[in-house]
Amino acid sequence: MKNRITSIVHFVFSIVLVLTTYISKAGMQDSIVPAVFSDRTMVNPITVSESPIKSILIAKKHFSRGLKELFAAQVFPWSYNRYVRKADFAKISFGSIGTNLKPSSWQWDDNKFINNHISHPYHGNIYFNAFRTNGYGFWRSVPGTFGGALFWELFCETHYPAPNDMVNTSLGGIAIGEMTYRLSNALVKRPHRGLKGQFLEALALIVNPLNGYNRIADKKWNQYFRDNINQEDFIAENDIGSRQYVNRSNGKLEKWKNELFTRINLEYGDPFKNIKTPFGYFSTTIEAGSSAQLNMVRIKAPLYGWKITSKDQSKHITNVTMSFDFYKNQAFTYSAQSFHYNLVSMFKKGILTQARTSIGAGVIALAAVPNEYLYYGEGRNYDYGCGLGIATAARLVISNRLIHILQYRRGWFKTINGYNSSYFLGTTNSELKYNLWKNFLVAFEWGTYFLKGRYVGFQDINKRYTYVRLSMEYTFSL
C-alpha cells in the first residue's frame, strides 16, 4: 500500500470524527466494571495515595454507534486522499475492489518506514476504539480492529492488499488503542471544575479522539460521576535532557553531536494485581529528539497472567504479554509486534527497598529492520521477518531514593519479504536515578544497540552503537 495518510492527517481526521454530527447521540447509562487500585510505591520514588476516587464512566454498549464510527474512520481518510490529495490509489472502482478480493492479490507494500509502523498502527487504534469507547471490553473490540484493517485493504485503495499492513494496523492498533483508552479515562477520572477540567477534557480528547467525542455526545464533558468504579493510577516520568550516540561499527569510533531529547514513561496499575485482565498493567515509553520527530514508542502489556506465590516479602507470577516497538533515531531503526511468556517477580525488604524482575521469551510476529542494500517504491529500505526474542529487566529501588534499572533484549528473525537474509539484533541499557527533592530526579543512562545482518549475495553487516543520556526527571501520578 502506498502513500496512505500520514499520522498527522490521521489525527486531523480523528478530530473531524469528534465534530461529526451525523453519528447518533443516543444517551448512555453507567455500567459497573470493578477494578482495583494498586500500591505503586514498590517501583517509584513517590507514594501514590491509597484512597481512590471512584469516577470513571464505562459506557453502555452502543453497537450501532460503534459501527458508524468504524465506518467514519474509513470514509474520512479515503475522502481526504481522493478529493483533497487527489491520490491515484484512492480512485477506487468495482474493478479494483474485485481484484483486491482475489486471494492471489495480496502483496507486501513499499511504504516508508514511519508510515507503515506509526501511521498504520495509529489508524488501527481508531478502529479499536470505535467499539472500546462504546462500552465493549478489550476482547470484543479486537475483531473491529482486524475488520477495519481488512476493509481498508480490500475496499479503500487501488493498491493490492498488504499482509504487513494487516499485522501492523491490527496488532499495533490494539496496543495503542487500549493504552490511549485507559490514559484518556485516567485524565478525567477525578473531579476538576472550571478551566482545569476543560483542559483535561481537551487533553483526553487529543489522546483518544473517539473517547472524547463520545463524552461530548453523551453530555459527559467536564462532568464527574461518583460510581462504584476504581481505575488504576498512572505513574508518569517525564525526562528532559541531552544524549549522544557513538558509532562503533567495524572497529571505528565516530561520535555524533549531542542532541536534546524528551521522554515520558507511563506505568499503569500493578503487575501483580488484575493479572487476568488485559492491560490491567502496562508500561509505555515515548521519546522524541532532534534527530527525528519521533524516536521511540514502546508498549508492553500483559494479556493474561497466573499467580505462583504471593507473600509479604516476595511475589511471583507468569503472564503472556503483547509488545509494540518502534525505534528511529540517529543510530538505530527497528519496529516489531511480538508476544512473550514471562516470569515476573517482586522482592521487598522493609517498606523502602524493593526489587522487581522480569524474564521472558516469545515470538516476533513481524519485525522490520533496515537493509542498506534495498530501496524501492515509495521509499522502502527495510526487510520484513518473523522470529524469536527474549526480554529481561530488573528495577531496584533503594531507600525510596536511588533507582537502578537494567534491560536486556535480543531478537533473531529470518526475512520473509525483502532480500534473502537473517538478522540478530538487540539492546542493552542501564539507568541510574536519584531523587533530589520531592518528585524531581536526576537520571543517567548508558546503553548499546547492535545489528548483525547475514545476506545471500551481499556483504554481511555488523553494526554497533553506544549512547549516553543525562536528564532531569519529574515524576507525577494521574
DSSP string over 407-462: EEEEEEEEEEESSSEEEEEEEEEEEEEEEEETTEEEEEEEEEEEEEEEESSS--EE
* Unique residue bearing C-alpha cell 499485522: 167
Position 371 confidence tier, pLDDT thresholds 50, 70, 90: very high
Question: At residue 451, does pLDDT exceed 60?
Answer: yes
* Cell reading at 56: 470513571
Contact 121, 148 (CB under 8 A): no
User: Of the candidates 81, 101, 99, which has an alpha carbon nearest to the alpha carbon of residue 90?
Assistant: 81
Asked which of 28-42, 129-143, 386-400, 444-458 is least confident by mean pLDDT, the reply is 28-42
- State which amino acid sits at residue 435: N
Q: Which run of H or E residues covers position 325?
A: strand 314-328
Give me the pLDDT at residue 415, please: 97
pLDDT given for residue 60 in this prediction: 83
472 pLDDT tier (thresholds 50, 70, 90):
very high
pTM: 0.86
In the structure, what pLDDT confidence band is assigned to residue 29 with cuts at 50, 70 and 90? very low
Average pLDDT over residues 212-231: 73
CA–CA gap between residue 316 and residue 335 (Å, rounded): 30
pLDDT recorded at residue 301 = 98
Give residue 352's pLDDT: 80
- In angstroms, the CA 388 to CA 338 distance is 9
Q: In terms of pLDDT, which residue wins out, 402 or 48?
A: 402
Paired with 422 in beta bridges are 414, 454
Mean of all residue pLDDT scores within the chain = 86
d(Cα 159, Cα 99) in Å, to the nearest integer?
A: 9
**What is the pLDDT, as a whole number, of residue 324?**
98
Phi-psi region of 348 (alpha: psi -120 to 50; beta: other; left: phi over 0): beta
Average pLDDT on 326-355 reads: 92
pLDDT, greater one: 300 or 10: 300
The model's confidence at residue 225, banded by pLDDT at 50, 70 and 90, is low
* Confidence category of residue 231, pLDDT binned at 50, 70, 90: low
Instruction: Give the phi and the psi of residue 133 in degrees, each rounded to 5.
Output: -85, 5
Per-position DSSP letters for 160-184, written without gaps between them: PP-HHHHHHHHHHHHHHHHHHHHHH
> Which pLDDT belongs to residue 5?
44
pLDDT of residue 232: 66
Domains of the chain with bracketed CATH:
7-30+49-217 (no CATH), 234-477 (2.40.160)
CA 100, 339, 368, 15 torsion: positive or negative?
Answer: positive
- Give the residue-averaged pLDDT of 314-343: 95
| Distance from C-alpha of 395 to C-alpha of 415, rounded to nearest angstrom | 34
**Residue 281 φ then ψ, to 5°:** -140, 140
Q: Are 471 and 180 in contact (CB under 8 A)?
A: no
Q: What is the pLDDT of residues 392-447, one digit of tens each?
A: 999 999 998 999 999 999 999 999 999 999 999 999 999 999 999 999 999 999 99
Instruction: Evaluate whether 160 touches 107 at the Cβ level (below 8 Å).
Output: yes
Buried b (16+ CB within 10 A) or exposed e, 163-172: bbbbbbbbbb
Q: Is the pLDDT of residue 188 over 90?
A: no
pLDDT of residue 304: 98
Higher pLDDT among residues 425 and 4, named by residue: 425
Beta bridge partners of 284: 266, 299
* Cα–Cα separations (whole angstroms), residue 430 to 242, 284, 290, 395, 469: 16, 18, 23, 10, 10
Residue 73 scores a pLDDT above 60: yes
- Between the alpha carbon of residue 254 and those of residues 69, 247, 447, 466, the distances in Å are 50, 5, 16, 10
pLDDT of residue 205 exceeding 90, the answer is yes
For 12-26, how does the pLDDT look when each residue is reduced to its tens digit (9 = 90+)? 444 444 343 233 333
Q: How confident is the model at residue 96 (pLDDT cuts 50, 70, 90)?
A: very high
* pLDDT tens digits, one per residue of 103-124: 999 999 999 999 999 999 999 9
Q: Which of 292, 1, 20, 282 is nearest to 119 (CA)?
A: 1
Helix (H) or strand (E) holding 205: helix 194-207
Give me 70's grid cell: 468504524
8 A C-beta contact, residue 269 and residue 186: no
Q: What is the DSSP string of 70-91?
A: HHHHHHHHHHIIIIIS--GGG-
Distance CA 366, CA 435 (A): 39
Task: Report the C-alpha gap between 471 and 47 in whole angstroms.
Answer: 22
